[in-house]
Structure 1
């Protein structure tokens, strides 16, 4: 069967929302004027998500199951799905919690047919709490300010990519993946599509604050040289501050014969310089850590099994053998 678009859905402990997800996806692919497949990626779930994926893949050959050996994280789960795309026109990436409506595949495909290579969704409204919405807003605008190229603000992984964009992303070997940055870096013709993001339909969010910060750091350190440059600026600032403080003490010495006594000035200088050094080492360490992870050259993910066209298939080097 010729497939036009592959819909990639990463799943991690989504048993509670799974039936509703499959119902909406099935309704979508039954009503499209183009052919679709759905790639369900199980990211090492500890509930029955993997069993449910196997059941739907055996029942409906339009569904493919990619079961990872353990939890690798959202970005790598999506990357695994991209490696199994058979859609000749491209692929759509959505989250399994139904905050991203799969029904938008119709609108995205129209734009894909109009010649756009990347259609990224822009969130007009979010249903999260005030603190999280504020954090997202500040981060996206900071990222846009310091990135080496334009990464659209308020856009997540929900998108449709042409086949050549999928192929280019699959060719990128980086370990600390930030897909929305990679997709922007590829270039080609891109357009945003505004939508209102829904609430999670069931279950709980899997993105803790820790994982959100990790993703944010990947976005900053992978696509900006600002953290390195700020070290130099901090160095110039501390040197300038020290010189000004030295001139101030000389002035007090000759004008008032009143040079500060004791350890106060020394302690202030030590704390200031130590803080700058620790920040500098931390920023450099973020880059060194990414270099270390990259040079080990480990595979991005490990696949347990693949269920395609209702049959379980073996894998070699994370590639399915048909």
Structure 2
């Protein structure tokens, strides 16, 4: 009996090792996806286990019926184990390990680029040479947002040399928010990390994000503790925006947190359900909820090139953020109207009493002109705020796509 048991254990050990070897070979040498590689590796390992146990352990006849029954049983057991791990609330990585035989996870980096021909090769080399990421299958999704330089040809060349590079190119410049959404649409990893190509968000932070995710977080925010690389004006304007947004909008967004964060597959699928065409990603990512954790880091200098964001683009992004998640600017004009009407009524009553009681004449032209100009200015500002919301409604009801990819990039 002891001899039989030792043979059975030996076959099990070899079966597991064979699964890992086949899984890795299919991934790295044949370019198979993780799901396909896992299925084929499972079939090979189970087949070996069946015949080895039949001929060597139990010395029984290996019939086709027994083989089918054995494979079916092993498949059900693997599925049940994964289901139980998920039902017990195990972190996503636990369920992943169950189905992948303990092999590497797939992490997707979503990288919007616009005229970044200098930064892309540096970014790619940094990611591929960073030792702490080599234990994972790291997919890099580059989204070319209508660049005019050699950006498109560079990411296409990288994709030819590396099957884990996904090149996407827009037909024109649609903006960073649509580029991020395109990256989420095409990323296939179990965890997705939007990151800038300029490496101001250090690659060294990513393992810490993954660690928090493996501990059960649905979203891990990368919070900047040092923004000395940004100008004083940019730091102060960002501070004012966060305070204003969180005062009048819901949900609140974490201060000093950009697009750099880790999201689980479940979070990304929830984001993809949102029908809006004009998306403020920071607000959307807060709105979907889930268990959230934070990793703090200091922002670095740009490795190459210049920032493509200017003051006007940041202003428009701030307007997008406020009007996407707050109706307070509209409601505010109701209060302003009530206030102005109250002042006008009180002033009118004062003029009547002043004339009746004291016999003072009321100056006409100056007071009338000031009142008209004041009310006209208030009305124009209110119409402008209303126009912002109507303009966004107009853009939404047209139902245009968020972005358009060049031919050959659509999936």
The normalised TM-score by structure 2 is 0.72
Unaligned runs of 5+ in 2: 1-32, 35-104
Q: Indicate the SS of the match to 1:207.
A: coil
Q: Which has the higher strand share?
A: 1
* 1:103, distance to aligned residue in structure 2 (A): 2.3
SS in 2 for 1:269: helix
Shift of residue 295 of structure 1? 0.9
Cα offset, 1:81, TM superposition = 0.7
Q: 1:121 aligns with which of 177, 201, 222?
A: 222
Q: 1:93, 1:157 within 8 Å by CA — same for their partners in 2?
A: yes
Q: Normalization by structure 1: what TM-score?
A: 0.91
1:252-267 pair list within 5 angstroms: 252-267=354-369
Please identify the structure whose Cα radius of gyration is greater: 2
For residue 170 of structure 1, the aligned residue among 272, 278, 281 is: 272
Shift of the 74–251 alpha-carbon distance from structure 1 to 2, 3 Å rule, reads same
Partner secondary structure for residue 86 of structure 1: coil
Partner of 1:280: 382
Query: Shift of the alpha carbon at 1:96?
Result: 1.4
CA offsets, 1:153-190, max 9 Å, x none? Answer: 22111111010111111121211111110011001111
* 199, 207, 211: which one aligns with 1:106: 207
Do the aligned partners of 1:39 and 1:64 also contact (CA within 8 Å) in 2?
Answer: yes
State how 1:69-218 maps to structure 2 within 5 Å.
Answer: 69-87=171-189, 89-126=190-227, 127-218=229-320
Evaluate the alpha carbon distance shift between residue 54 and residue 30 of structure 1 in structure 2; reply closer, same or farther with a 3 A threshold.
farther
Q: Which has the higher helix share?
A: 2
Q: Which has the higher contact order (CA 8 A, sep 6+)?
A: 1
How many pairs were matched up? 308
Query: Is the contact between residue 29 and residue 35 of structure 1 (CA under 8 Å) also seen in structure 2?
Result: no
Give the secondary-structure state (helix, strand or coil) at the position aligned to 2:110: strand
Q: Does 1:223 align with 2:346?
A: no
Q: What SS does structure 1 have at the residue aligned with 2:346?
A: helix
2:370 to 268, 276, 284: 268
User: Unmatched 5+ residue regions in structure 1?
Assistant: 306-313
1:42 is displaced (CA, Å) by 0.5
Correspondence for 1:56 among 158, 171, 179 = 158
- 90-99 or 25-34, which deviates more: 25-34
